[in-house]
Amino acid sequence: MTMLSRVAERLYWMARYLERAEDTARLTLAYSHLVMDIPENTAPDWDILVRIQDAEPLFTERHRAFNELNVLGFLIAEPDNPGSIHRSIVAARENVRTTRDVLPREAWEHVNELYLYTREFAEASVRRRNRQQFLDQVVARCQMINGLLMTTLCRDHAYRFTKVGYLLERADMTTRVIDVGAGVMLREERHHTAVDPLIWGSLLQSLSAMGTYRRTIGPLVEGEAVVDFVLRDRTLPRSVRFCLDGIRRELHPLHNHGGALRVLDGARRSLSRFQVEGASREELHNFIDRFQLRLNSLSAEIVESWFLPAER
């Protein structure tokens, strides 16, 4: 069975937006916990969460101060922020609404329920009181949908483009999580180094990778080891390398894959070559920036190769 280019494109974006909603919820959760753990005068700034989304211009149009409520309102409930949980879920639902015919029927029901849930509670969950429960729900429901898709979709084009969407967004978000770490550390003159393990630990938690890290690397949470682990571990499902390898597996069987694989392999090479050990935080941040550009061009190449096919 072949697949309409338009449908493939919508599945790809459905997956990206669902993953974005889940990952934003994970990161917001981890960061909220981190802030509570850190002594008040050394607590990290909230603006970092906006910066890693590259959303400062949009944010400053709406708010003057980067305080907790403004930033979390922006990440959780802002309808105009393409990175917000609310907006991601609206966009995911629109994409599912228009591809229901190729998805299992329950997919629409669950995504629609998630949408109804977010619409009702997002605004009221910005404050600390309800935040945890809301974010937990978003993560759990996104995972349920992901699980449903992964266990019911035939391994055909529908699966392939959904999977690629999930993996690409996840790789992107993992690099952003590292960037949060780097960003916090860049301002380290204000921190005690005793805070470092807390920061990296919470980031590992946002990737559900704490347990695996302890088992494979060791009990001590250290910046460089964490960065290396979440960038390059071959077995960690949220590591950047794992995601890129997965994308390669899905794209390779498609016809017309030349352009996309070239960009993908370029990204994989640069990932292997990056020297984590001894890299300054500045260097780490710059690497992440450049790497995200590579992911952007990979997405553009996928759109070009399969979603906008020219007439014969």
Partner 1 sequence: MQRSWNSYSSGKFFDELITPHGRPRVAARRAVNLLKGLSPEDLAARRAEAELAIKDMGITFTIYSEGKNIDRTWPFDIIPRVIPARDWRKISRGLAQRCRALNAFIDDIYNKQKILKDGVVPAEVILESGNYLPQCTGVSPLFGVWAHICGSDLIRDKDGRFYVLEDNLRVPSGVSYMLENREITKRVLPELFENYSILPVDDYPSRLYATLASLSPRTTRRPCIVVLTPGIYNSAYFEHSFLARGMGAELVEGPDLFVEDDCVYMRTVDGPARVDVIYRRIDDTFLDPEAFREDSVLGVPGIMRAWKAGNVAIANAPGSGVADDKVVYAFVPDMIRYYLKEEPSLASVKTYLCMRPRERDYVLQNLDKLVVKPANESGGYGMLVGPHATRAKRAEFARLIEKNPRNYIAQPTLALSTAPTFIDGRVEPRHLDLRPFILSARDTWVTPGGLTRVAMVKGSLVVNSSQGGGSKDTWIVEASS
Residue with tokens 């945890």: 132
* Residue 163 contacts partner 1 per CB under 8 A: no
* Residue 303 contacts partner 1 per CB under 8 A: no
Cα–Cα distance for residue pair 248/253, rounded to 1 Å: 9
Torsion of CA 85, 91, 93, 94, to 10 degrees: 170
- Least distance (Å) between residue 1 CB and partner 1: 8
- Which DSSP letter does residue 155 get? T
Question: Is 238:207 a contact under the CB 8 Å cutoff?
Answer: yes
Query: Which listed residue (254, 276, 279, 303) binds partner 1 by CB under 8 A?
Result: 254
* Residue 5 contacts partner 1 per CB under 8 A: yes
* Residue 255 contacts partner 1 per CB under 8 A: yes
- Least distance (Å) between residue 243 CB and partner 1: 21
Residue 100 or 281 having the CB closest to partner 1: 100
- Least distance (Å) between residue 34 CB and partner 1: 36
Query: Which listed residue (45, 47, 68, 109) binds partner 1 by CB under 8 A?
Result: 109
Q: Put residue 207 in one of left, alpha, beta given phi > 0 → left and psi -120 to 50 → alpha.
A: alpha
Residue 104 or 237 having the CB closest to partner 1: 104
Residue 61 or 311 having the CB closest to partner 1: 311
Residue 8 or 18 having the CB closest to partner 1: 8
- Least distance (Å) between residue 294 CB and partner 1: 23
Question: Is 121:114 a contact under the CB 8 Å cutoff?
Answer: no
* Residue 119 contacts partner 1 per CB under 8 A: no
Query: Which listed residue (42, 60, 67, 98) binds partner 1 by CB under 8 A?
Result: 98
Query: Which listed residue (43, 90, 112, 137) binds partner 1 by CB under 8 A?
Result: 112
Q: Is the dihedral of CA 161, 162, 163, 164 positive or negative?
A: positive
Question: Is 221:201 a contact under the CB 8 Å cutoff?
Answer: yes
Q: Which residue pairs, CB below 8 angstroms and at least 24 apart, start in 97-103? A: 98/10, 99/7, 99/10, 99/11, 99/14, 102/3, 102/7, 102/11, 102/158, 103/11, 103/149, 103/153, 103/158
Question: Is 168:45 a contact under the CB 8 Å cutoff?
Answer: no
* Residue 309 contacts partner 1 per CB under 8 A: yes
- Least distance (Å) between residue 111 CB and partner 1: 9
* Residue 155 contacts partner 1 per CB under 8 A: no
Residue 59 or 306 having the CB closest to partner 1: 306
The stretch among 43-51, 93-101, 132-140, 276-284 that binds partner 1 (CB under 8 A) is 93-101
Query: Which listed residue (43, 108, 144, 237) binds partner 1 by CB under 8 A?
Result: 108
Number of residues in contact with partner 1 under rule CB under 8 A: 29
The stretch among 68-76, 107-115, 129-137, 285-293 that binds partner 1 (CB under 8 A) is 107-115
Cα–Cα distance for residue pair 176/37, rounded to 1 Å: 21
Q: CB-based contacts of 263: which residues, under 8 Å, 6+ apart?
A: 294, 297, 298, 301
Cα–Cα distance for residue pair 180/176, rounded to 1 Å: 6
Query: Which listed residue (47, 113, 188, 228) binds partner 1 by CB under 8 A?
Result: 113
* Residue 219 vs residues 12, 114, 210: alpha-carbon distances, Å: 38, 37, 9
Could you list the residues that contact partner 1 (CB under 8 A)? 2-8, 94, 97-98, 100-102, 105, 108-109, 112-113, 116, 157, 161, 254-256, 306-307, 309, 311-312
